[in-house]
Amino acid sequence: MNRRTWLQRLFAAAAGGAVAGNTLAAAGPKDVDALQKNWRMLLAEGVRPPSPAEKVKLANDDWKKRLDRTQYNVLREEGTERPGSSPLDSEKRAGVFACAGCDLPVFTSDMKFDSGTGWPSFFTTIPGVFDTKTDHILLYARTEYHCTRCGGHHGHIFNDGPRPTGLRYCNNGVALKFIPKSAKA
């Protein structure tokens, strides 16, 4: 049994309910707080995450050297990758998802769920890692979120996620890199 399944069953038993799929349907706000506080245990051995306070500001030419073309389009120009194109959408190992622009840890594998949208989706974040703004690109208001450290665009927040938050952080996979949990950690 993997860690996600174990946590789901624990939360379901505590709430007296069942958990469907790989969402934390029976989890409560205290469970989310625990996930947000204990993310460091999922980092690979020897990885020291940067602080959100350590801002990364680069010229466009430097960003173009650091990122590939698709990453640059998403992170710096607020583009969107094709749905179903990211292998991180089906990533199921324990670990941490970090910003591809600056290495700031932003999500853990326990925050991830399968939304069926074709993009990696999460119901909460590591606290303090994103800033938000409203965009009207599709003629209606959407909440866009950006890495607080480098300003990189990650995706949009929707109100159709699973319990306990009801949120779906719909993230571009190219805006993330996955750091698997160390077997020794």
Alpha helices in the chain (DSSP H): 3-15, 29-37, 60-66, 69-77
What residue ranges in the chain does DSSP mark as E strands? 95-99, 105-108, 112-113, 121-122, 130-135, 142-147, 153-158, 168-171, 176-180
Catalytic (active site) residue 99 = no
Side by side, the strands of the sheet bearing 176-180 are 105-108, 95-99, 176-180
Cα gap 39→5, rounded to integer Å: 17
Q: Given 99, 102, 150, 170, which residue is catalytic? A: 170
Active-site residue list: 170
